[in-house]
Copies of this chain bind each other. A is one copy, B any other.
């Protein structure tokens, strides 16, 4: 069963807002075993909408359309879907009642303009909207079952799970494309290098399709189990996953597609350990990443962002002698910073960065991209130095932060082979 997604609206077409609905719907459809082959976006334009709906009616068996169901003149989805289907707009009592119910339940006054939303293409089935004023509908265009829902994410998501996905399950029967997906998160290898190492995967595991996805600075390895696999898809994906770990396990930081910060958080949480951070060139990004994880306050105690040398000395106790001898960007200072963060906060582990994110500040000896990282624990204190230059200040900050978290993760993970 071939599916497509269509998002409508000038605000998406002109780039005023990013279309996150299509990714949301695509992922839900994939999880339901539907094979999505194309997304399209067109504006609030009658002829563009009719053209693309007719195309979809020829190409696809199933489509989800977002947007254009509101009460104003530029909301054209019902009208153009009717045109593409070759039917008239007719009054729907179910749609009218859905709108009435919403206004009643929310103590709001219904306007005349909302009457337009009760007009659906002839033969369409109304999809009730429990969280907004705009009802959706399903109509056949050509060979395609077209499901129209609002563009407001919360309304779309609710109607998708309540009505659209159950209806799609009925349509699908046994015709599902992918049974399940496993994601493995990798850091420290290029996409090309990962691809080369996993070249033989599909040959070794005929039921598995490999997908690589670069989300700078990570690579996500996706293992899709094809629907041909009849027996025990979980066992097959487990074996393929083990094979991947055998090939590139050193660079895998999560076997379940988790983020670096949540993985570090998990390892800290498991051992009831605490962490403090001292950041120079990463400027708060490590702390931001760590504290994006809900519950991080149970292991993350403190971070000092010490841009100035004075702050490194005053807050972290870095010695002025070392600063003079080695310079702020050095393994020695990174080690003193990591140890200082531990000492100041009483945390079990300390992590630090000092480097040159650019665009200025580089020298021949310490060019832009130079990053020194310190990792301190109850019985160790280590310094590292790399050159990781990726073309912009923000990309450099990102890779510095990931590298620091990865070095800590390796210390925290008892299974990591050093």
Contact in complex: B304, A303 (CB < 8 Å):
yes
Copies per complex of this chain? 2
Q: Which of A14, A152, A300 has the most CB of B within 10 A?
A: A14
Question: Which of B39, B191, B215, B393 is within 8 Å of A13, CB to CB?
Answer: B39
Over the window 13-30 of chain A, the binary record of Cβ atoms lying under 8 Å from chain B Cβ atoms (1 yes, 0 no) is 111111110111111111
From 71 to 112 in chain A, residues with beta carbon under 8 angstroms from any chain B beta carbon are 71-74, 106-107, 111
**Chain B residues with CB below 8 A from A292, complex form:** 283, 393-394, 397
Q: Which residue of B lies closest to A357 (CB)?
A: B291
Q: Does A344 contact B (CB under 8 A)?
A: yes
Per the bound structure, the CA–CA distance linking A173 and B393 in Å amounts to: 35
Contact in complex: A391, B39 (CB < 8 Å):
no
Q: Given A41-B39, A111-B192, decide whether A216 and B154 contact each other with a Cβ distance below 8 A.
A: yes
* Of A141-149, A160-168, A305-313, the one touching chain B: A305-313
Q: Does A206 contact B (CB under 8 A)?
A: no
Per the bound structure, the CA–CA distance linking A26 and B183 in Å amounts to: 31
Q: Given A15-B22, A131-B390, decide whether A315 and B304 contact each other with a Cβ distance below 8 A.
A: yes
Contact in complex: B284, A389 (CB < 8 Å):
no
Per the bound structure, the CA–CA distance linking A394 and B308 in Å amounts to: 28
**Chain B residues with CB below 8 A from A302, complex form:** 304-308, 311, 315
Q: Which residue of B lies closest to A10 (CB)?
A: B211
Over the window 280-319 of chain A, the binary record of Cβ atoms lying under 8 Å from chain B Cβ atoms (1 yes, 0 no) is 0011111111111011110011111111101100110000
**Chain B residues with CB below 8 A from A391, complex form:** 130-132, 154-155, 158
Per the bound structure, the CA–CA distance linking A290 and B361 in Å amounts to: 17
**Chain B residues with CB below 8 A from A28, complex form:** 15
Q: Does A203 contact B (CB under 8 A)?
A: no
Q: Does A387 contact B (CB under 8 A)?
A: yes
Q: Which residue of B lies closest to A157 (CB)?
A: B392
Question: Which of B11, B111, B286 is within 8 Å of A213, CB to CB?
Answer: B11
Q: Does A179 contact B (CB under 8 A)?
A: no
Question: Which of B9, B37, B72, B211 is within 8 Å of A195, CB to CB?
Answer: B72
Q: List 22 A-B contacts (CB under 8 A).
A: A11-B211, A11-B220, A14-B30, A15-B24, A16-B212, A18-B18, A18-B19, A19-B23, A38-B48, A39-B40, A39-B41, A74-B211, A107-B387, A131-B390, A131-B392, A152-B216, A153-B216, A283-B291, A284-B284, A284-B285, A284-B289, A310-B346
